Amino acid sequence: MYKMNVCQFPGCKKMSLSSFSADGDTILEIPGYCLEHHKNKLEIKKQIKNYVLSHDVIIGLDACGITISDLDLSNKKFCACNLQHCTFSNVHSINLYARMCMLDFCTFSDCSFTKSNFQFSSFSGAKFIHVLLTDSDLIHNNFNGITAYQCSFDNSDLYNSRFVKSVLMNTSLKNCNLKKTLFYESARESVSFKMSNTREAVFDRNQNNILVAFKEKEVLQ
């Protein structure tokens, strides 16, 4: 589970980055420093990158605030990892697996996570720009407050996920399972829900019928 060590810098309340054994093969359960106060930012970023690349299963990694770019994460499995405030750029994967991971306030740009499986994870407040999350299982996830621009969730299972107060622009959710998916107070412009079971989604706290809440610019069929 989460290590959740607090940064050792006096007065800092941020979570510290993971520490590693001398050979870089093991995450140590010892206190450290957040990215801002780490003495060797380049070295710790290198250690985190090498650990991710050299392991198929990553458990309990704390990498808050780092930038992850130009990586292939295909077939990787992440569990109970704290990746809040990270920036993902040009990251691509097939069959990426994640459970109980925290990705709140991350920025994803020009990324693809196709045929992936994310469950019980949080993306609250994250930004998605030109991102593909197609053909994926995205179940029981928190997408509250996200901004998605020119993204695609097509052919994905979004059962019981939440998009409360999200902003969706030029984004496609075609042929998705939207059963119990919440869109309370979301702003949606040029969004396509073609062939999705929209009547089983919830767009308004007092009304389950999608026709009441939809704007004219949204595509129903």
Amino acid identity at 9: F
CA distance 85 to 53: 20
- Per-residue pLDDT 10s for the chain (221 aa) are 566 789 999 999 999 999 999 999 999 988 899 999 999 999 999 999 999 999 999 999 999 999 999 999 999 999 999 999 999 999 999 999 999 999 999 999 999 999 999 999 999 999 999 999 999 999 999 999 999 999 999 999 999 999 999 999 999 999 999 999 999 999 999 999 999 999 999 997 664 444 444 443 454 44
DSSP letters spanning the chain: ----PBP-STT--SBPPPEE-TTS-SEE-S----TTT-S-HHHHHHHHHHHHHH-SEEES-B-TT-EEES-B-TT-EEES-B-TT-EEES-EEES-EEES-B-TT-EEEEEEEET-EEES-B-TT-EEEEEE-TT-EEES-B-TT-EEES-B-TT-B-TT-B-TT-EEES-B-TT-B-TT-B-TT-EEES-B-TTS-GGGSBSBTTB--HHHH--TTSB--
Q: What is the pLDDT of residue 65?
A: 95
Q: What is the spatial distance between Cα 92 and Cα 72, in angstroms, rounded to a whole number? A: 5
Instruction: Supply the pLDDT for residue 31.
Output: 86
pTM: 0.90
